[in-house]
Amino acid sequence: MAQFFPELKEDFKRLLKAAAGKKIAVAGHMRPDGDCISSQFALADILRECGAEEVVCLNQNPLPYLYEHFAYGSKLQSAAEFCDDSFEIVTVDCADYKRTNLELCSRFPSPLGCIDHHATNNTYAKINIIDTRASATAELIAGMAFDAGLKISKENANRLYMGIVMDTRQFTTSSVRTQTFEVATALVKSGADAAWVAVELYQRERFEKMKLLALYLQSMTMHFDGRVCVGVLPADAYTSTGAEKADSDGLVDYARAVNGVEIAVLLEALPNGVKGSLRGKGPQYMVNDLAAKFGGGGHMAAAGFTAEGYDLNTLYPKMLSLIEEHLLNLDKLNSKI
């Protein structure tokens, strides 16, 4: 049978061997996403089954509501409160060790292993297993486990499938390749229930988030012949809807989804500033350059900033004039090519 990650086979074996008989803490990055959570729980099970004496999962933040049904009874311990020095650390989905928890880093300065798919990973562990072609760390862990002939339980199949779905936004990102689907196929064969995972991820929305989305959609305005779409959340948006700060995640994607829109913006009024989220319809829009003008940053298609000392009335027009200039430069660049 074909292997998913043949180049990583020996390193993965080495990690399993190194963990055998030891106490292992699988740490993920702060504010864990679906890929991180699924990778933590699944790898913990795998290490346990391959002979680790004891395995715990650590995170600076608690298990997000969205992923609670993927725990299947497993616990996510607080990295800040973890105090057993007899453990060794293995990280997942962490490009930088600091993204787990600073105290953890100083107490366990030399992590045993690291499994990740981020291009920016700085290989900080004794055994680093990095593959930037993988759409998700979950794809990497699943693929290596299949390659090693390990049995994937139905629970871990659901978890790892969920990690891939979250990091590829339902198979829609440019990181999706043939192997992404091959690993997904193998996970479904192992018992992953695509429909159940989707209900968990996409049919457990907070009612208050829907009301916040309504406010954002209603405020959406087109600029520059429909190339730019901007929506705002005024300071009372949260109190009037009952929504939480985290409920604004993903709202800006609705502006980007509009036909013809090249750059999408969400501006949120803060007590002493404005938070901005920027999206480009592709990396060619380099919205990180725009975010940098307000001291922010991010990726070429997704970036953000927090601009202190502004309010919506002062930031909105400034943002528009910066975007106008940015589009002009992009147009020049494209006409030159």
Binding-site ranges for its own copies (CB under 8 A): 165, 169-174, 176-178, 181-182, 184-185, 188-189, 194-195, 198-199, 202-207, 210-211, 213-215, 217-218, 220, 222, 226, 229, 254, 256-259, 261, 281
SS3 302: strand
Pick the closer one to its own copies by CB: 72 or 254: 254
- Minimum Å gap between C-beta 252 and its own copies is 13
Pick the closer one to its own copies by CB: 55 or 330: 330
Report yes or no: 215 and 179 within 8 Å, Cβ to Cβ.
Answer: no
Angle CA(182)–CA(47)–CA(130) in degrees, nearest 5? Answer: 55
Interhelix angle 9-19/34-49, nearest 10 degrees: 70
Instruction: Give the CA-trace dihedral at 150, 153, 154, 159, to 10 degrees.
Output: -80
Please report where in the chains the tokens 């499994």 appear, as a residue. 115
- Minimum Å gap between C-beta 233 and its own copies is 13
Pick the closer one to its own copies by CB: 195 or 337: 195
- 10 Å Cβ neighbour count for 56? 18
242: left (phi over 0), alpha (psi -120 to 50) or beta: left
- Minimum Å gap between C-beta 269 and its own copies is 19
Strands 263-270 and 54-59: unpaired
Pick the closer one to its own copies by CB: 193 or 324: 193
SS3 39: helix
- Minimum Å gap between C-beta 130 and its own copies is 23
- Minimum Å gap between C-beta 53 and its own copies is 36
Pick the closer one to its own copies by CB: 95 or 176: 176
Dihedrals phi, psi of 94, to nearest 5 degrees:
-115, 110
Pick the closer one to its own copies by CB: 107 or 154: 154
Pick the closer one to its own copies by CB: 219 or 306: 219
Report yes or no: 23 and 53 within 8 Å, Cβ to Cβ.
Answer: yes
- Minimum Å gap between C-beta 282 and its own copies is 8
Dihedrals phi, psi of 115, to nearest 5 degrees:
-120, 125
Task: Quote the CA–CA distance of 14 and 19 in Å, as a whole number.
Answer: 9
SS3 78: strand
State the maximum Cα–Cα separation within the chain, in Å, rounded to a whole number: 64
Which tokens belong to 225?
């012949």
Pick the closer one to its own copies by CB: 145 or 213: 213
- Minimum Å gap between C-beta 241 and its own copies is 10
